[in-house]
A = this chain, B = another copy of it.
Amino acid sequence: MNLNFTPEEEAFRQEVRAFLAAKLPAELVQKTKTGVRLGKEDYKTWQRLLYEQGWVSPKWPTQYGGTGWTAIQIHIFDEECFAAGAPRILPFGIGLVGPVIINFGNDEQKATYLDDIRSGEVLWCQGFSEPGSGSDLASLKTRAVLDGDKWVVNGQKTWTTAAHWADWMFTLVRTDPDVKQQEGISFLLIDMKSPGVEVRPIITIDGEHMVNEVFLDNVEVPAENLVGELNKGWDYAKFLLANERTGIAGIGQSKAEFRTLKEIARHERKNGKPLIEDPLFQSRLAKLEIDLMALEITNMRMLVEEQKAGKPGPMSSILKIRGTEIQQQLSELSMDAVGVYANPWIEAALEANWNGEPVGPEYAPARTPYYLFRRKASIYGGSNEIQKNVLSKAVLGL
């Protein structure tokens, strides 16, 4: 047992840092540091740079473009990217549909999709949730009927992040309505440009447009867009959701956000002293940092286990639960830190290149929107209640 990084791991960290120093555009860093909203092109730019470096899909098998890194290297990479102010990589392609195609797709699908997923040339979105099927995902109703060499798809998806940017959507569709719910679902890839696909924005309480409703009205999908076997979609979805859980702890991002929070707490003043010296605020900050330190180690313990086992186990739900709790607490404490300047709602200040009259410190306008934005972290990817159900059953045997 040894919690110190090896010299090789330290050298790897330096290599990552050197790459970031050389390649990460200053403009992106400025946006992430101030909480300005990122656009589609921001995400694409960064993904392209990683793609060119060969580092865009570290967890994939090496023959498909993975890096062959250890779990610890992946952790170091993640941490350094966020520390440098890089944006996240949208998870739908590389994190979610990619591994499904690699594991369950056929050779033609691999040839068609994988490289574009890695380069970010083609953006994906996830068509799982429906208005009546949230936590109870298996009750989904979107219907796909085979008509010759085409599937005809009808239904509605919702909470579809980045659907308005996406070129493709991977979906769960009902292909057999007459069997047990979980046994009549298939995994289908849909071109967002197909006639009958309509995307309508959902504005969230933070004022942003990132999620959407997607209406599917007699959408024709080539038969070969079915991934894996007919009616086995639920298995692929479980595989995908387990991958999602593991990635969701967001340690690197949270560590970066913690540093921002600490900067704010040094700058804000209370009773004539920096807020960070206020005993109550300091103790909340300390507890949050300690929880995050613990989760970082828990995360590495589990990633190492996962890499040994070759797949995520149910314990990874812990990472989703604690990771999102910490994300929410970070956003909450950051909002509390700015005091009364948490209240003005200066949405324009969240857009790039705004030059209106500032209200409060530069970091203030993003705090309350970000707090509101983070509310959904404990809902998506399987709500934290669902994660606890999973742990209770699969780990505790209750």
Q: Is A279 an interface residue (CB 8 A)?
A: yes
Task: Convert A273-302 into 0s and 1s, putting 1 for each residue whose CB lies closer than 8 angstroms to a CB of B.
Answer: 000000110010000000000000000000
Q: Which residue of B lies closest to A283 (CB)?
A: B280
Tell me which residues across on chain B come within 8 A of A280, comparing CB atoms.
279-280, 283
Q: Roughly how many angstroms separate A279 CA and B279 CA in the complex, as a whole number?
A: 6
Tell me which residues across on chain B come within 8 A of A279, comparing CB atoms.
279-280
| Interface size of A in residues (CB-CB distance below 8 Å) | 3
Query: How distant is A290 from chain B, measured CB to nearest CB, in Å?
Result: 15
Query: How distant is A34 from chain B, measured CB to nearest CB, in Å?
Result: 32
Tell me which residues across on chain B come within 8 A of A283, comparing CB atoms.
280
Q: Which residue of B lies closest to A278 (CB)?
A: B279
Residues of chain A in range 244-282 having any CB-CB distance to chain B below 8 Å: 279-280
Q: Roughly how many angstroms separate A280 CA and B282 CA in the complex, as a whole number?
A: 10
Query: How distant is A49 from chain B, measured CB to nearest CB, in Å?
Result: 46
Q: Which residue of B lies closest to A280 (CB)?
A: B283
Query: How distant is A285 from chain B, measured CB to nearest CB, in Å?
Result: 13
Query: How distant is A114 from chain B, measured CB to nearest CB, in Å?
Result: 48
Q: Roughly how many angstroms separate A393 CA and B189 CA in the complex, as a whole number?
A: 45
Query: How distant is A208 from chain B, measured CB to nearest CB, in Å?
Result: 33
Q: Roughly how many angstroms separate A126 CA and B280 CA in the complex, as a whole number?
A: 46
Query: How distant is A273 from chain B, measured CB to nearest CB, in Å?
Result: 13
Q: Roughly how many angstroms separate A279 CA and B271 CA in the complex, as a whole number?
A: 14
Q: Roughly how many angstroms separate A239 CA and B107 CA in the complex, as a whole number?
A: 71
Query: How distant is A398 from chain B, measured CB to nearest CB, in Å?
Result: 16
Q: Roughly how many angstroms separate A133 CA and B279 CA in the complex, as a whole number?
A: 48
Q: Roughly how many angstroms separate A29 CA and B221 CA in the complex, as a whole number?
A: 84
Q: Which residue of B lies closest to A279 (CB)?
A: B279
Q: Roughly how many angstroms separate A61 CA and B24 CA in the complex, as a whole number?
A: 81
Q: Roughly how many angstroms separate A283 CA and B278 CA in the complex, as a whole number?
A: 12
Query: How distant is A177 from chain B, measured CB to nearest CB, in Å?
Result: 31
Q: Roughly how many angstroms separate A161 CA and B279 CA in the complex, as a whole number?
A: 44
Q: Roughly how many angstroms separate A283 CA and B280 CA in the complex, as a whole number?
A: 8
Query: How distant is A329 from chain B, measured CB to nearest CB, in Å?
Result: 18
Residues of chain A in range 280-327 having any CB-CB distance to chain B below 8 Å: 280, 283
Q: Roughly how many angstroms separate A122 CA and B252 CA in the complex, as a whole number?
A: 68
Q: Roughly how many angstroms separate A222 CA and B27 CA in the complex, as a whole number?
A: 91
Query: How distant is A154 from chain B, measured CB to nearest CB, in Å?
Result: 35
Q: Roughly how many angstroms separate A283 CA and B283 CA in the complex, as a whole number?
A: 11
Query: How distant is A280 from chain B, measured CB to nearest CB, in Å?
Result: 6
Q: List 4 A–B pairs whose Cβ atoms lie within 8 Å, in order of A's numbering.
A: A279-B279, A279-B280, A280-B280, A280-B283
4 pairs of A and B residues whose beta carbons are closest in the complex: A279-B279, A280-B283, A279-B280, A280-B280
